[in-house]
Structure 1
Amino acid sequence: MDKVSTNSKNHYTWGNNCDGWHLVESASLSVIQERVPKGESEVRHFHRYAEQFFYILSGIATIECEGVIHKLHTHQGLHIPATKKHTLSNQQNEDLVFIVTSTPPSHGDKIFCE
């Protein structure tokens, strides 16, 4: 077992200038740290199998899930069960940094909504 950080793990980009680092990648668990600049968001979607937990490290996240808006501040989290349609956005002026934990891993399990 090795220590992990954003300096030692695989980095990827998504959307418009958003960053992700796979901190844990296994067959049953995914832990990712992400950074979302101001004004950016993901596309509304759901996961057939993966449930997710979002935990805010800095900034304020706006998560819409099944029509309900949740504002998450630093050191707050939200569990999104599988099959629930959701989107995350940063509507603030500072970067949003958070951890998203998925089990099973959510990559390849994302279904985009119209």
Structure 2
Amino acid sequence: MTINQLSAQAPFTTKDGSTIRSILDRTNAPVEMQSLAEATVPAGTATQRHYHKVSEEFYFILEGHGLMEINGETQNVGPGDAILIPRTAWHQITANAGSTLRFLCCCAPPYAHEDTYFE
């Protein structure tokens, strides 16, 4: 049985500029097919627009409000919103001014820096 406590996970910055804490992934559990992380984007900032060739992602917004862009389509997002980011879809999330975004990020297969591509 594997149980990891979020508070015990050290934060790091991904290639897109968000700060994440890996809750369950290949670095801290016997994970094979997916990963789960908590991500934060500070108020008034955005991740760098990118895509993943291999991984499909889900974002689940826990706190804050922002703007999600996927392949040129944008929508306001906030707590309780679940977002599907298909494999190969260009995407970026922006936190509103005065509202740090905190969300769960699920990747299948697991997140890897090598699978993050920029324009």
TM-score greater than 0.5 by the shorter chain: yes
Structure 2 residue corresponding to 1:81, chosen from 86, 93, 100: 86
Note if 1:110 corresponds to 2:103: no
Counterpart residue number, 2:56: 51
Give aligned-pair identity as a percent.
24
Report how many aligned residue pairs link the two structures.
111
In the superposition, relative to structure 1, how do residues 27 and 10 fare at CA in structure 2: closer, same or farther (>3 Å)?
Answer: farther
Structure 1 unaligned segments of length 5 or more: list them.
Answer: none
Q: For residues 37-69 of structure 1, what are the alpha-carbon distances to aligned partners after superposition, in whole Å with 9 as ceiling and x for unaligned?
A: 111111111110100000000111311111100
Counterpart residue number, 2:97: 92
Give, in whole Å, the separation in 1 of the partners of 2:62 and 2:13. 19
TM-score by length of 2: 0.84
Post-superposition shift, 1:13? 3.1
Structure 2 unaligned segments of length 5 or more: list them.
Answer: 26-30
Counterpart residue number, 2:20: 20
Over the aligned positions, Cα root-mean-square deviation in angstroms equals 1.5
> What SS class does the counterpart of residue 7 from structure 1 fall into?
helix
Residues 54 and 87 of structure 2 are in contact (CA less than 8 Å); yes or no, is this contact kept in structure 1?
yes
Extract structure 1 runs of 4+ deviating beyond 3 A: none
TM-score by length of 1: 0.87
Post-superposition shift, 1:2? 3.8
Give, in whole Å, the separation in 2 of the partners of 1:61 and 1:51. 21
Residues 53 and 80 of structure 1 are in contact (CA less than 8 Å); yes or no, is this contact kept in structure 2?
yes
Structure 2 residue corresponding to 1:41, chosen from 37, 46, 52: 46
Counterpart residue number, 1:9: 9
Post-superposition shift, 1:9? 1.9
